[in-house]
Structure 1
Amino acid sequence: MDRESTLTNFSSTYTEKQQGCIQLLQITDTHLFASDEGQLLGVNTSKSFEAVIELAINNDHHADLMLMTGDISQDNSVESYHRFAKQSQALGLPCHFVPGNHDENYMMHQALQGKQLFPQKHVIFDNWHIVMLDSTIEGKPAGRVEEDQFEFVDQVIQSYPEKHLLVVMHHHPIPVGCRWLDQHWVQNGDEFLARVGAYSQVKGIVWGHVHQEVNEVYKGQHGNIPLLATPSTCIQFTPKSNHFALDGLQPGYRLLQLQSDGSIRTTVYRVKGERFSPEHEASGY
């Protein structure tokens, strides 16, 4: 059996709505509860997620796909995953997802069932493909990219060497300048970047976890690779803070536009006003 055949059960194939440009909505860190009144540090996470979805609908991007980059649930309840499935339906988009450190992986995959929810970790378009990596370590907030995930990246690149590749995960592979948060990054982040940065096909790396916007660049062997983190749909962490601190910025999402030449255009959109205000005196969660 050839490499491409072995990927069949792990892949989904799409055709972009706009020729030459793939539009992706990245949603991350919803931290939903069983109850629709559940709050995380003063923010009702169901209502903030709903506000982000409404914003995306009103922006009318004509997106092709939604990427959910982990921490769907805060309380590891079946109901919280069902809540995500129900609320995300309003976007009318196929959704591919990865677990975060707050998710229970088995329960997540059992509960996230529906016509718009897809567990496949390899997404294929005409000029691009996407790999959804599991960076979680069971029972720990930090992440790690294990050898089987490196092998998966190599396998999809060897099977589709002509396509540009976007790598998607939960944890941050670079320090973001928050000492308390950088304890919980990808533990082998340097190795990860060196290995994926050796492929000419890798054109971008996207993650969640840090509850803030990050736009950096890694100098790979074949050119610069955008490194992108996206705000949470609920609470935000204060950038460049040595200690746990909450930011007053509003919830948001990221639009990724993958161009046929391998470049990426991207914008972060946030809910307007001051609708969601966290408990700024909080020292952790």
Structure 2
Amino acid sequence: MDTDHSLGQVLRLAETLSEPDIFLFSGDISNNAYAEAYERLYAMMNGRSNVVWLPGNHDSIEAMTAVCGGRWYRPRIELGDWQLVSLDSSVAHTPRGTLAQTELDFLRQQLDQHPDKYTLVALHHHVLPVGCEWLDEQLLSNQSEFLELVSAYSQVKAVTCGHVHQARDVEYQGTRFLSTPSTCIQFAQHSADFLVSSEAPGLRWLELHPDGRIDTGIHRVADVRFNVDLAAKGY
């Protein structure tokens, strides 16, 4: 797929919605950590300041921050009664994810220091299985430790991720676990091996209410033809 074209269509779709407080890019911004990819996204977003991005397994923090500095790579921001805490689950040279002890300590610190803030946690890798054998092999490796931490703090209302290229919304021990469509190819659900879906690129919107409630939904690009290789065995 022409990923610049599909991303452009998703951004145009976003423009039809109400102006967001934050655009959250949840990783794998570049397939090969090329600086040019980060520069193109920066140009597409016109250098706007209401962006937060975090790294995926294909990304390089060094290349990302060289493009945007601290403007977009912000591990914690406040949004009214909420805080958004972004974690780095990437591990060099592997699609599998883990949260280093420094990341877990950072999350715990923010929860301890801001008990009055409802919290949305964002990371790239999925924490709960999605039912695709090949994807669930790449599940967050220290899932149990992360879940134990999150369940100890009632102000954590949701955890959102990228990586799985499909939409999911489930609850586990009182916390919602969300994933978002990709801005390029979508992965077929409930597949044993790599399989691409014919679903269109899209986005997830979230509305964070002052009382801790979350409204969320999926929008996909319509009326645009995308050339997708449904026979692809990998990417």
Question: TM class, shorter-chain normalised?
Answer: over 0.9
Match of 2:194 among 233, 244, 253: 244
Structure 1: any 5+ residue segments left out of the alignment? Answer: 1-42
Task: Name the aligned partner's letter for residue 188 of structure 2.
Answer: T
Q: Please state if 1:231 is matched with 2:181.
A: yes
Which one of 27, 39, 53 corresponds to residue 82 of structure 1? 39
Matches within 5 A, 1:148-227: 148-219=102-173, 224-227=174-177
Shift of 1:249: 0.4
Cα deviations across residues 236-280 of structure 1 (Å, max 9, x unaligned)?
000110011000000001110001111110011100035113101
| 3-state SS of 1:139 partner | coil
Q: Distance in 2 between matches of 1:101 and 1:109?
A: 16
Further displaced range: 121-130 or 163-172: 121-130
Contact 1:85 1:113 in 2 (8 A): no
What is the CA-CA distance between 1:113 and the residue it aligns to? 4.4
Structure 1 or 2: more strand by fraction: 1
Q: What is the Cα deviation at residue 93 of structure 1?
A: 5.5
User: Of the candidates 10, 19, 40, which is equivalent to residue 62 of structure 1?
Assistant: 19
Write the distance in 2 (CA, Å) between the matches of 1:98 and 1:278: 26
Corresponding residue of 2:226 = 276
* Runs of 4+ residues deviating >6 angstroms: none
Unaligned runs of 5+ in 2: none
Corresponding letter in the other structure for 1:51 = Q
Query: How far has the Cα of 1:195 moved from its partner?
Result: 1.5
Q: CA offsets per residue over residues 193-245 of structure 1, 9 Å max, x none?
A: 122111111010000000000111111xxxx1110000000000001100110
Cα-Cα RMSD: 1.4
Give deviations 1:95-123, integer Å, cap 9, x for gaps: 11110001122112112349xx4222111
Whether the 8 Å CA contact 1:130–1:168 is kept in 2: the answer is yes
TM-score normalised to the size of structure 2? 0.96
Can you list the C-alpha shifts for 1:57-78, whole angstroms capped at 9, x where unaligned? 022x121111111000013221
Number of aligned positions between the proteins? 235
Give the secondary structure class of the aligned counterpart of 1:89.
Answer: coil
CA contact (8 A) 2:49 2:72 kept: no
- How far apart in 2 are the matches of 1:208 and 1:217? 17
The code of the aligned residue for 2:14 comes to: A
Percentage of identical aligned residues: 37
Residue in 1 that maps onto 2:60 = 104
For residues 251 and 89 of structure 1, the distance between their equivalents in structure 2, rounded to whole angstroms, comes to 21
Question: Amino acid of the residue matched to residue 164 of structure 2?
Answer: V
CA shift in 2, pair 1:253/1:93, >3 Å: farther
Q: TM-score, normalised by structure 1?
A: 0.79
Tell me if the contact between 1:134 and 1:170 (Cα under 8 Å) persists in the aligned partners. Answer: yes
- Alignment partner, residue 263 of structure 1: 213
Letter in 1 for 2:32: D
CA distance in 2, matches of 1:89, 1:197: 38
C-alpha distance in 2 between matches for 1:133 and 1:48: 26
Contact 2:27 2:54 in 1 (8 A): yes
